[in-house]
Structure 1
Amino acid sequence: MSDKYREAGVNLEAGYESVRLIKSHVARTKIKGAMDSIGAFGGMFDLSTLGMKEPVLVSGTDGVGTKLMIAFEMDKHDTVGIDAVAMCVNDVLVQGAAPIFFLDYLAVGKNEPTKIEQLVKGVADGCVQSECALIGGETAEMPDMYDVKHYDIAGFCVGAVEKSKLLDGQKIEAGNVLIGLPSSGVHSNGFSLIRKILLKDAKLDLHKEYDEIGGEKLGNVLLTPTKIYVKAIKHLLDKVDIKGMSHITGGGFYENVPRMLKEGQGVVIDTNAYPRKPIFDMIAKYGEVPMEEMCNVFNMGIGFMMAVDKADVEKVQSLLAEINEPSYVIGEVTNSGKVEVKW
């Protein structure tokens, strides 16, 4: 067989080896309804196994962004797949949908099977945390498009919810209490600003340990995977009347919280009501970033929030404590038409 394709920079054999290496990771994610479709042209899922009368499918897609530049520098590739899953499943969760399956897309400059395995391991870890199946994906080797050490990873997930239980924000009322679930760190947003402040301007070393972040390596702190909230919210959905939810991603409180509100509604959020990871203070200090802008770029320690009746607050926090999920009362819904953040 001719080697012309290999000479152009594409190694088909490496691709076959990658598929072989990732099969065990894919197998870990299998759930009821997931059909054996790895290697087929399309991933398959049997919706009838969910037992829903009027299932509504909710889909989300996202990538990891320039956080990948940190992974390249640290040569650590086993966690960014979790980020890719988290950014998608947390989004569909907001509307009350339980994620059921995920597909990933990897674009690489050079197909290195062991690196592909690490990336897919992260995706599988994220799917296990999300209780959804990895039913397919694509790996594209694109020399000249990407440097040999670089890659991009993205994906999309589909969730399902009974039509009668779909959350669309219409139940939220002024006086509802905001309960926040803590983030694991900066998650997967704002890394263009982070890299400019900490690496380009301050010239900090990703491999160095800094007292400001508890003596940990900066690179490891920045690569902390995005927290997945699926199990926590699924533990609540059939037990509490949640009025609305918001996934705090890029745009911070100012952009994401209004997405769960009705026209004319607003919120008051108190950032002193919960503990904040020191990485946020480090970014603000080195970049001289005003707190208002910090709250407009980063999650500031709250990765997910929900609105509930005052009468349900104790029940929600008690249920979350059952599964060791910390939660904080961080504010309330108003009729102000704006997001007011106290710091």
Structure 2
Amino acid sequence: MVTYSESGVDIDLEELTVSRLTSRLKGTLRYCDVISGAGHFAALVRMGDVAIAMSTDGVGSKILVAEMMSRYDTVGIDCIAMVVNDILCVGAKPAALVDYLAVEEPDPDVADEIGKGLARGAEIAQVAIIGGETASLPGIIRNLDLAATGIGFVDVDRIITGENVGEGDAVIGLESSGIHSNGLSLARKVFFDELKLSVNDEMPGSAKTVGEELLEPTRIYVDPIMRLLESGVSVHGLAHITGGGFGNLKRLNRDVGYHLDSLPEPQEIFRTIHEAGVDITEMYRVFNMGVGFCAVVSHDDLDDALDVLGDGAHHIGNVTPRKAEVALKTYTGESIKL
């Protein structure tokens, strides 16, 4: 079996590393009015009756696929998506970002291509890119890295913390556009090391090449989720399904669990990765498996929520009393727990 840790990413070690880092930073919270207990995907700072939501993220090793294809016009969309989708999770409307581009050596043509993606992502998310930083770091960076930090705004009394998620609530899943921008280390190991394919080879079961499938931009969920938040539907929780897969739902409220038995069929790319030797539990622990964002709503509001969200939204399961457990039925018919 091929695992994420074998591809160079150890999720458990990452969690420990983050814990060690953040434990040193808790004392700094006294310098502003941080809304504690609400920052599961984005941090929140109170400014009177309004809170500023902040998130930072990058494109990750998807950059390496872009390098292999000499194509950089889509990774900017991923960069925007990874930031704004997290900001949405606390009920905030994304507003502005600053980007950070670190390069081994400046390349105006590559920068122009990255700029195209950033501009397109900002257009979809309806946010302003108000500044940024470009750093030349030979000896530290090989080729380039791209990240961004964004802010959004939400009325304090409309913050979504997940604390209202309760037994019987409905879980709605919004379809992803594919692999998005996480788990690429494992995907690259499967396609390039295990299956011995190149970026120009045809993806099994697809008319696209491997490279095209891997570079498919992360879906930006700003439009449907803002429509949901403004609809009057009782939204109890929002989760961006990225690294950690459906385990991200546990970040909303650890006093409940989730039973997901009606997930949509995943895209062919996930089937290929699984069939190449990645365990099914590892698949749902690492990848979005066709669902890139979840909304937890009152069951009474389920039909209205689905109407607002439109095509690509599915009732995938319900909230259970089993604390901090995500039980789901895989596309292969197996039942697993995360």
TM-score, normalization: structure 2? Answer: 0.81
Partner of 2:314: 328
| Cα distance in 2 between the residues matched to 1:116 and 1:210 | 28
The correspondence for 1:192, drawn from 171, 182, 185, is 185
Q: How does 1:1-343 map onto structure 2 within 5 Å? A: 54-147=49-142, 150-212=143-205, 214-239=206-231, 240-254=233-247, 256-261=248-253, 263-270=254-261, 272-286=262-276, 288-321=277-310, 325-337=311-323, 338-343=325-330
CA distance in 1, matches of 2:203, 2:239: 32
Query: Matched residues in 1 for 2:327 and 2:112: separation?
Result: 44
Rounded to whole Å, the distance in 1 between the matches of 2:263 and 2:196 is 33
Give secondary structure in 2 for the equivalent of 1:210: coil
Q: Using the TM superposition, give the Cα deviation of residue 210 of structure 1 relative to its aligned residue in structure 2, in angstroms.
A: 3.0
The answer to whether the 8 Å contact 1:53/1:162 transfers is no
Distance 1:224 1:130 in 2: 17
In structure 1, distance between residues paired with 2:129 and 2:116 = 11
User: Secondary structure in 2 aligned to 1:208?
Assistant: coil
**C-alpha distance in 2 between matches for 1:186 and 1:93:** 20
Amino acid at match of 1:96: G
Give the root-mean-square deviation of aligned CA atoms. Answer: 1.3
Per the alignment, residue 7 of structure 1 pairs with none
How far the C-alpha of 1:309 sits from its partner, in A, is 1.3
1:149-208 Cα shifts (integer Å, max 9, x gaps): x10000110010000100011211100000000010110111111111111222111111
Give the partner amino acid of 1:202: L
- Deviation track 1:239-262 (CA, whole Å, cap 9, x = no partner) reads 1111111000000012x010112x
Specify every segment of 5 or more residues in structure 2 that has no aligned partner in the other structure, as ranges: 1-46, 331-338
Work out the CA distance in 2 between the residues paired with 1:258 and 1:77: 34
Which deviates further from its counterpart, 198-207 or 69-78?
198-207
Aligned partner of residue 209 in structure 1, secondary structure: coil
Which residue identity is paired with 1:235?
A: R
The 2-side partners of 1:84 and 1:273 are apart by 26
Quote the offset at 1:311 in angstroms. 1.5
User: Residue 185 of structure 2 aligns to a residue in which SS?
Assistant: helix
CA contact (8 A) 2:246 2:285 kept: yes
The 3-state SS of whatever aligns with 2:235 is coil
SS at match of 1:65: coil
Cα distance in 1 for residues equivalent to 2:236 and 2:116? 35
Among all aligned residue pairs of Structure 1 and Structure 2, give the percentage whose two residues are the same amino acid: 39
Q: Name stretches of at least 5 consecutive residues in structure 1 with no aligned partner.
A: 1-51
Assess if the C-alpha contact under 8 Å between 2:227 and 2:308 holds in 1: yes
Write the distance in 2 (CA, Å) between the matches of 1:233 and 1:264. Answer: 25
Provide the secondary structure at the position in 1 that maps to 2:61: helix
Residue 53 (structure 1) shift: 7.1
The one-letter code sitting in structure 1 at the alignment partner of 2:320 is T
- State how far apart, in whole Å, the 1-side matches of 2:71 and 2:280 are: 31
Equivalent AA in structure 1 for residue 273 of structure 2:
I
- Return the TM-score normalized by structure 1: 0.80
Query: Highest CA radius of gyration, 1 or 2?
Result: 1
Shift of 1:142: 2.1
Q: Aligned to 2:51, what secondary structure does the other structure show?
A: strand
Match of 2:131, SS state, is strand
Instruction: Report if aligned partners of 2:99, 2:148 keep a CA contact under 8 Å in 1.
Output: yes
Q: CA deviation at 1:65?
A: 0.8
Q: Distance in 1 between matches of 2:263 and 2:50?
A: 38
In the alignment, residue 278 of structure 1 is paired with which amino acid? E
Deviation at 1:140, TM superposition (A): 1.1
